[in-house]
């Protein structure tokens, strides 16, 4: 099969288009013929080597964390899917590889594709949808009437998280440029802070939840817009000790995580705020719930650009530039 392979870490390194054997299928997996794949900042961070402590992948490696396609084969223990089914998924860590013609996915991480979505639309959903779900539903327990600040509302995670938060009945604030204000308002944002001309810390106060996705300075400022008892959930770091325990990281990695997160954890504790780091996980059950909400019209995909498979490197560079509105997708078949 054809695939884009990462041979060595590096920000400026391009993926190599190559012919490689079809992946081996395990008993609890489904082989998906990839029709479309989402491109995420996580792919760029793994490519640069930024996530080596958390995800020690062996090279060479096929990147890609989102897939929509058709079931080609099923393992001997698979009972919920059959060849020909239209599916979508975020493959598990250490089994990624959707920048290819085929990818194996655990049955437990797979869902049937929402019927009304194209393959490209479906491929834009899994990673950002599961990130938003695990942050707002699982970690935050967001309830109707609460206030949530979702940073970077026009980005991949932000554009989905705004919709989910509104569906849950929350009041939603976000940051966006003036050019993207109409987009984030159409998704359900109640308060839009123009990050180029306004300081969100001066506009927002007494929030219940912040979904943080920006830099360290923004993380510390986010503490000051939360009420006592509020929750600060970061998807951009720093990882905290509980995350290190969760992934059974070696002691020295857990020590690094403890040191990196010491400042924000200390300030959060002083303010009576719960800080946690989220690194989303594949979850077919949650993806099915998201699919039902999409089919009911409560959530919709937001896609900036679709690239052909041959332009995977260009798609990754476009995501790395940080200006995409919603998701970037490549069409594989």
Distance between CA atoms of 214 and 224, rounded to whole angstroms?
Answer: 15
Q: pLDDT tens digit string along 216-259?
A: 999 999 999 999 999 999 999 899 999 999 888 899 899 999 99
Instruction: Calculate what percentage of the chain has a pLDDT beyond 70.
Output: 100
Tokens read off for 236: 């951009």
Please, how many CA atoms are within 13 Å of residue 69, restricted to the half-sphere of its CB? 30
CA distances from 22 to 75, 117, 150, 248, 295 (A): 14, 27, 40, 31, 33
Provide the pLDDT for residue 323.
Answer: 85
**Is 173:149 a contact under the CB 8 Å cutoff?**
yes
Distance between CA atoms of 65 and 113, rounded to whole angstroms?
Answer: 16
Q: pLDDT tens digit string along 159-206?
A: 999 999 999 999 999 999 999 999 999 999 999 999 999 999 999 999
Tell me what the pLDDT averaged over the chain comes to. 96
**Is 129:287 a contact under the CB 8 Å cutoff?**
yes
Rounded mean pLDDT of 46-61?
Answer: 92
* Domains parsed from the chain with CATH numbers: 2-125+301-331 (3.90.180.10), 128-277 (3.40.50.720)
Rounded mean pLDDT of 308-331?
Answer: 96
CA gyration radius, the chain: 19
Rounded mean pLDDT of 88-96?
Answer: 97
Provide the pLDDT for residue 53.
Answer: 83
**Unique residue bearing structure tokens 């797979």:** 110
Tokens read off for 229: 């008892």
**Is 245:279 a contact under the CB 8 Å cutoff?**
no
Q: Is the pLDDT of residue 116 over 90?
A: yes
């Amino acid at each position: 099969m054809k695939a884009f392979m990462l041979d060595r870490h590096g920000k400026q390194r391009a993926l190599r288009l190559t012919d490689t054997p079809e992946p081996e299928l395990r008993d609890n997996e489904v082989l998906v013929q990839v029709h479309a794949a989402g491109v995420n900042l996580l792919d760029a961070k793994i490519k640069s080597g930024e996530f080596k402590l958390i995800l020690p992948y062996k090279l060479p490696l096929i990147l890609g964390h989102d897939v929509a396609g058709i079931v080609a084969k099923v393992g001997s223990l698979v009972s919920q899917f059959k060849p020909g089914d239209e599916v979508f998924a975020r493959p598990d860590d250490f089994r990624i590889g959707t920048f290819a013609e085929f990818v194996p996915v655990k049955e437990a991480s797979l869902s049937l594709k929402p019927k009304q979505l194209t393959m490209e639309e479906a491929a834009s959903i899994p990673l950002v949808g599961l990130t938003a779900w695990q942050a707002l539903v699982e970690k935050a327990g967001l309830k109707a009437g609460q206030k949530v600040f979702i940073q970077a509302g026009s980005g991949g995670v932000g554009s989905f998280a705004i919709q989910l938060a509104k569906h849950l009945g929350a009041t939603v604030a976000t940051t966006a440029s003036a050019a993207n204000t109409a987009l984030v308002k159409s998704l359900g944002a109640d308060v839009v802070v123009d990050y180029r001309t306004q300081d969100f810390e001066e506009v927002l106060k007494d929030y219940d939840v912040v979904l943080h996705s920006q830099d360290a300075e923004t993380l510390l400022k986010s503490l000051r817009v939360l009420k006592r008892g509020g929750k600060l959930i970061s998807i951009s770091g720093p990882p905290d000790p509980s995350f290190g325990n969760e992934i059974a990281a070696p002691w020295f990695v857990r020590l690094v995580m403890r040191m990196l997160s010491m400042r924000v954890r200390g300030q959060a504790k002083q303010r009576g705020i719960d800080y946690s780091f989220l690194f989303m996980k594949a979850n077919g059950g949650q993806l099915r719930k998201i699919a039902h909400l999409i089919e009911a019209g409560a959530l919709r995909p937001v896609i900036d650009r679709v690239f052909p498979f041959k332009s995977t490197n260009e798609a990754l560079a476009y995501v790395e530039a940080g200006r995409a509105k919603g998701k970037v997708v490549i069409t594989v078949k």
